[in-house]
Amino acid sequence: MKKAIIQMMIIVKMIFVSTIIVKKKDYIPKSHAAFNSWQLNFTQKVNSYIGGWNLGVDANTLWTTMTTGPTSKKVVFDTIWAIVSSKQFTHAQEQKLKDARKDYVSGDKNNPADISIRMFVNRYIRFNPLVTADQKEDLGLTVPDTVKTPTSDVNARLSGIELAGAIKSSKHLIITSEIKLPVKSQKNWKMVFWKLKFT
C-alpha cells in the first residue's frame, strides 16, 4: 500500500508554490540630510509642473496648505531642520524634527482633510495620466520599468522548468508574488525546493 502511494505521488503532477517578497526602493530618502535635498527638489518641480496636471482647486489648495505659510508642514520641517543641521540642537529639537518629518512625509491617513507628501503623490501624481514618467523621475519618484526584458539569469529557470507567476498582493514597498512550479517527480520537487531555499 505504501509503495502504491509513493508511485502515485511520482506520477501525479505536483505544483510547488513559493511566495517571493520583493522590496521596492522607497523614493523617500532615509537620512534627514538626503530627505531635505529630495524634498526641496520635489516641491520645486511640483510647483513647475502642477499647472499642466489639471488637479483642480481642492488639490491645489492642499498643495499650498502643505508647502506654503508659516504653519505649513514644509515650513515647519525646513525651520527645525535648519536648527538640527547646524549641529547645535537639543534633544527636544531633534525629536521635533522627527515628528515634523513624519507629519510632512506621511500625515494622518485616518484624516481625509490631512495632506502629506505620500498622500499627495498617491492621490494626484502616481496614477495621473497627465504626469509623465520623465516628470515622475524628475520629481525623484520611483518609476516602474514598463519594458519587459528577457533574462539570461540562470536563476530564472530551475531544473529546466519555466517559472510562472503573478503578483499576489502589493503594499507600500512590498510586492508578494506567487510562483508555481510544475514538477514531474518527487526527486525533482526536492531539487527545486533545495534550490529555492538555499540560492
48 pLDDT more than 90:
yes
Instruction: List helix spans (H) across the chain.
Output: 2-11, 32-49, 57-67, 73-84, 91-105, 117-120, 133-139, 186-198
Q: What does the pLDDT read at residue 167?
A: 63
pLDDT at position 86, please? Answer: 96
Phi then psi dihedrals of residue 16, to 5 deg: -105, 125
DSSP letter at 26? P
How does pLDDT run across 57-72, given as a tens digit for each residue?
A: 999 999 999 999 999 9
Domain-wise residue ranges, the chain:
32-139
pTM check: above 0.75: no
What local confidence, expressed as pLDDT, does residue 133 receive? 94
**Range of lowest pLDDT (18-27, 72-81, 86-95, 155-164):** 155-164
42 touches 139 (CB < 8 A): yes
Q: 65 burial class (0-12, 13-18, 19+ CB within 10 angstroms)?
A: middle
Res 91: pLDDT = 96
The whole-number pLDDT of residue 12 equals: 38
**95-134 pLDDT per residue, tens:** 999 999 999 999 998 998 999 999 999 999 999 999 999 9
Predicted confidence band of residue 195 (pLDDT cuts 50, 70, 90): very low
Q: Quote the pLDDT of residue 100.
A: 98
Q: Residue 197: is its pLDDT beyond 70?
A: no
Length of the chain: 199
- Pick from 4-8, 88-92, 177-181: least confident: 4-8
More confidently predicted of 25 and 195: 25
SS3 assignment, position 167 = strand
User: What whole-number percentage of the chain has pLDDT above 90?
Assistant: 56
The pLDDT tens digits of the residues spanning 140-193 come to 998 877 666 666 665 554 444 455 566 666 666 666 666 655 555 445 544 444
Fill in the DSSP letter of residue 69: S
Directed axis angle between helix 57-67 and helix 32-49, to 10°?
A: 150
